Structure 1
Amino acid sequence: MARVRERLRSTLDAIARLLGGFGTALLALAVLVWIGVVGLLSCVGAGVLLVPSALRTLRSVANRERVRLDVLTPDAVPQQARAALRDVAVRRELAWLPLHATAGLAIGFVAIAMPATMLQNTTYPFWYYVLPPSDNTPTFLFWNIFSKVTDLTGALVVALSGVLCAAFLVALGPALVRVQEWPGRHLLAPPPGTDLSLRITELTVTRAAALDAHAAELRRIERSLHDGTQNRLVAVNVLLGAVRRAVDRDPAAAHAALDRAQDAAEQALSELRAVARSILPPVLADRGLTGALDGLASSCAVPCEMTVDVPGRCAASVEATAYFVVAEALSNVTKHSDAAKAVVQVARQGDRLVLRIDDDGRGGADESNGSGLSGIRRRIEAYDGRFTLDSPAGGPTTMRVELPCGS
């Protein structure tokens, strides 16, 4: 059943991505026509001044596709026509434009036509008889390839074509996505040198964030030890001094002071355990990531459905980060979301550990409001991971985290 749900989810995701590509393909087609007009006008000298603006329009559409594909965006288009045409990114965009405006548009059309045909044709046997005989000719991908239907047998044949459309989407939907996105991923990506320099900058920033997070963690541990455990131990020392002075002259008071000293020592020990657990929860070593996360789900005040598919063990730092993220996310759900249910999915996909936390609460989560989200982001980015949050007002909220965990 879980495999069927996953397959359905991947099919719906493929349809959504194909429709997104269809939208940018329509824009690409419009820009292709406009650039063609500018090129024709340039042959007679009238369109030369329009070349930079046409290329900026191309850059705008290409950047929409880059955002959709999560590809880095290059610098602005040069103002001069010759400089713009010599720009490597512009040339790659000019190569991408006709491919996406034609093949991308055609594949996107299939993404629209297939679900519509599937819905229409699979339900056809239930309503074909109410149509006038002149209109009782079903379509396939918006084309009339069937003869007029006059009986249930013909209607069932039409329904079979709808089932075939559904099978086509389930089997080939992800492949269509890869074909549609191939030009953008290969032609709109920045040159390797640019990517490397940006990557160095990104790693420099995340390294600084890691150092800041480490310093903040040390300050937190120091405050916990200073404000809690140290005060308890000072109290134990004072009480033991009082016991030593009272043991001969007032044994009853000495016993009472010893009881208080024992209570203070137990509290200090408990606080020391809490500090140790916050550094690296021992439950990870005892029960592994699956058992530790199941414990978080069972102790969450909001009903939580936990699904963990992580064969074997990841590095201790990865498991600790995953545990911290889920614990903080469920804490936020309990405190801020007014949710009735939370769903946590953890799976290993290749060399990455992927976490997804959903809740059906009121949404509107904001990293700047002190809900702990900024701390989650810093911790993830310090580990060279990815963090995305989708929390529109009114909900639901979806948090997705990717952590590198080796092959």
Structure 2
Amino acid sequence: MEHVRGRVRASVDALEHLVGGLGTAVLALGALLGALVVAAACLGGVGLLLVPGLLQAVRTVADRERARLSHWGPPVPTPGPVPQGLRPALRDPVVRRELRWVVAHGLLGFATGLLALVLPLYAVQDTTFPLWYRLLPPGAGAPGIVWWRIDGLPDALAVGLLGVGWLALALTIGPRLARLQAWPGRRLLPLPPGVDLSLRVAELTATRAAALDAHAVELRRIERSLHDGTQNRLVAVNVLLGAARRALRRDPARADEILERAQSAAEQALGELRTVVRGILPPVLDDRGLAGALAGLAAECAVPCRLRVDVDVRCAAAVEATAYFVVAEALTNVVRHAGADAVDVAVRREADRLLVTVRDDGRGDADETRGSGLTGIRRRVEAYDGRMTVTSPPGGPTRMHVELPCGS
């Protein structure tokens, strides 16, 4: 049963990928048609003026496909602007690869996306045909590609069996069609190796600087917590013990009262010290694993929280700690700023990525520049070469999606 549910979920995801790819394929076909028109106009010399606009349109369509592929898998970096001038633009390897992609994706992506839509429609139509075949005129054939005449219930049931076959075919080839549709983009839209490496170096330099800043902020937070909280409590304990020692000879009853206050201060210091330690690396991750630790966060959240964790094996300790802090900070933001009635947290592992999604039904309009804690989450995620996307239109809902590499 679990295998069937996994296959159905993979097929639904594949259908969603294919429908998105069909949209970019339609745009690619439009760009391809425009390229043919411009090429024909170039024979008369007029089309040369239209080439820069055409290349910009191709770049726009290709960037949409890059964003789509990055959403469903490894990121595809976006190149810089199209070079100015006709000759530099046509000599640019990125532009030439995009022109080849327009042809490949416009044809292959449209065909696979259309097939992905037709199969489920045929499956629903033919599977339900025995329920409504009587609505057809007597002796008429079934809609679709059925070639036999429908004379009664046995013929209608045969069409229903054909619908089951369409459904099985859709579940079987859907993920393969999605990979086939994405293949031209995965092959042609990434930057050439040299350019990709330089951008990767710049990205790693930026994330390293962000990681160092986040580390410095974390150290300052720990130092402030120890200085303002635990250290002051321990100083109070020391003062009280000194006062109790002096009062012991003169007024033992007074000394007992002072020792009680010292014990209370020591207990508060231990509690604050435990809080600081949990902020560094929660011990609950070692004791109960990521699922148990997140269950504790969900149970303590002031807003009703629905939690789904689908992680079969343990990830690296640093990755689990990052996921834990992401969820903890996100729930804190929901309680403080969102005004939400409910929040959903979903954590699952796909191949070598740990995916964390937090969605609330609050007021939305979350902005990283307004000190909502999102900047700290982003820095922590990017320090581990992860990605974070936030969608929060005014009026809600707010959805935060984080991807963390966790090995194979």
* TM-score, normalisation: structure 2: 0.90
CA gap of 1:103–1:202, structure 2 versus 1, over 3 A, is: same
The equivalent of 2:33 in structure 1 is 33
Amino acid at match of 1:304: R
1:202-351 → structure 2 map (5 Å cutoff): 202-301=203-302, 302-311=304-313, 313-335=314-336, 336=338, 338-340=340-342, 342-347=344-349, 349-351=350-352
Question: 2:339 touches 2:362 (CA, 8 Å); kept in 1?
Answer: yes
- Decide which of 137, 141, 148 is 1:137's aligned counterpart: 141
* Unaligned stretches of 5+ residues in structure 2: 71-75
Alignment: residue pair count: 401
Q: 1:303 to 1:83 in 2, by over 3 A?
A: closer
Which residue, 100, 115, 120 being the options, matches 2:120?
115
Q: Which residue of 2 aligns with 1:83?
A: 88
- Give the Å deviation of 1:288: 3.3
Residues 110, 281 of structure 1: CA spacing in aligned structure 2 closer, same or farther, 3 A cutoff?
Answer: same
Instruction: Verify the 8 A CA contact 1:354 1:401 in the aligned structure 2.
Output: yes
Q: 1:387 matched to which residue of 2?
A: 388
Q: What one-letter code is carried by the residue in structure 1 that aligns with 2:91?
A: R
**1:113-157: CA deviations, max 9, x gaps?**
2222222222111112123348x43333xxx44344231112122
Structure 2 CA distance for partners of 1:229 and 1:86, relative to 1, 3 Å: same
Letter in 1 for 2:324: Y
Q: Give, in whole Å, the separation in 2 of the partners of 1:57 and 1:120.
A: 38
Distance in 2 between residues matched to 1:132 and 1:290, nearest whole Å: 58
1:154-190, Cα deviation, whole Å (9 max, x unpaired): 2122222222222122111111011111111111111
The 8 Å contact of residues 345 and 356 in structure 2, kept in 1 or not, is answered as no
**Residues 119, 360 of structure 1: alpha-carbon distance in 2 compared, 3 angstrom cutoff:** farther
Supply the AA of the counterpart residue of 1:43.
L
Q: Give the superposition deviation at 1:203.
A: 0.6
Match in the other structure for 2:200: 199
Displacement of 1:81 in angstroms is 2.1
CA deviation string 1:245-301 (max 9, x = no partner): 333333322221111111111111111111112111122233333433343344444
Contact 1:117–1:139 (8 Å) recurs in 2: no
8 A contact 1:303–1:341 mirrored in 2: yes
Moved more, 285-294 or 15-24: 285-294
User: CA 1:6/1:330 → structure 2, altered by over 3 Å: closer, same or farther?
Assistant: farther
- Larger deviation, residues 376-385 vs 45-54: 45-54
TM-score relative to the length of structure 1? 0.90
* Distance (whole Å) between structure 1 residues aligned to residue 2 and residue 373 of structure 2: 32
The answer to whether the 8 A contact 1:225-1:272 is kept is: yes
| Distance in 2 separating the partners of 1:11 and 1:343 | 23
Within-5 A mapping of 1:348-363? 349-359=350-360, 363=364
1:297–1:306 CA contact under 8 A, matched in 2: no
Aligned partners of 2:221, 2:16: CA distance in 1, in Å? 44
* Equivalent residues of 1:84, 1:90 under 8 A apart: yes
- For 1:376, give the aligned amino acid: I
Q: Distance in 2 between matches of 1:152 and 1:227?
A: 82
Q: Is the 2:146–2:159 Cα contact (8 Å) retained in structure 1? A: no
Percent identical across equivalent pairs? 59
Once superposed, what is the RMSD of the aligned Cα atoms?
Answer: 2.4
CA distance in 1, matches of 2:48, 2:319: 56
In 2: Cα distance, 1:341 partner to 1:85 partner: 50
Task: Answer with 322-331 or 256-265: which moved more.
Answer: 322-331
Identify the residue that residue 93 of structure 1 maps to in structure 2.
Answer: 98
Residue 89 of structure 1 and its aligned partner are, at CA, apart by: 1.3
8 Å Cα contact 2:343/2:358 also seen in 1: no
Q: Which residue of 2 aligns with 1:50?
A: 50
Larger CA deviation: 206-215 vs 119-128: 119-128
Q: 1:242: Cα distance to partner?
A: 2.5
CA contact (8 A) 2:316 2:406 kept: yes
Which whole-Å CA distance do the structure 1 matches of 2:286 and 2:103 have between them? 55
SS of corresponding position for 2:250: coil
8 Å CA contact 2:295–2:307 kept in 1: the answer is no
Q: 1:178/1:324 Cα in 2 relative to 1: closer, same or farther (>3 Å)?
A: same
1:378 maps to 2:376: no
Q: How far apart, in 1, do the equivalents of 2:370 and 2:130 lie?
A: 55
Match of 1:162 in 2: 163
